[in-house]
Amino acid sequence: MRSSLRIVALLLATASVVFSRATPTRRDFPPLIVTLPAGQTLSQFDEAFDDECVNWQPAIDAGYSFDFSSESVPPEAGQAEVQCQWDAANGIEINFAQAVAESLGAYPVSS
């Protein structure tokens, strides 16, 4: 009985170490503030940005996995805060927010 409990404890400990080593540390990029393209509402841009980010061909061609896309309440009218993140096989996160935004005619706000 004792030996089977030790085996179970050893298996659980090994599984938790393997899981923690296999899980990369997550680092989300901060949102990018962009100026909306002329003539587009925030909701139109949000929808287009989500669709473009999820289907971003350079990321797909590179074999990356889609992570997430988001838009936040803009700091000022005519702006949006956007994120477009993909993951490489080695656990590195890649930020495509600026490229996706620019492909839709939106450009980063100068700081």
- Residues 98/32, Cβ–Cβ less than 8 Å: yes
Residue 40 lies in a domain: yes
How many domains, the chain? 1
Residue 103 lies in a domain: yes
Q: Residue 14: pLDDT above 60?
A: no
Q: Residue 54: pLDDT above 90?
A: yes
* Bigger pLDDT: 70 vs 55: 55
Q: What domain range is 35 assigned to? A: 27-108
Q: Residue 21: pLDDT above 70?
A: no
pLDDT on residue 50: 94
pLDDT tens digit sequence for 58-97: 999 999 999 988 777 677 889 999 999 999 999 899 999 9
How many CA atoms lie less than 13 Å away from 67 in the CB half-sphere? 20
Residue 104 lies in a domain: yes
Q: Which amino acid, 71?
A: E
Residue 75 lies in a domain: yes
Residue 4 lies in a domain: no
Unique residue bearing structure tokens 């100026």: 35
Q: What are the start-end ranges of the E strands in 12-111?
A: 32-35, 65-72, 79-87, 93-95, 107-108
Residue 7 lies in a domain: no
Give the pLDDT mean for 41-48: 92
Q: What are the start-end ranges of the E strands in 18-60?
A: 32-35
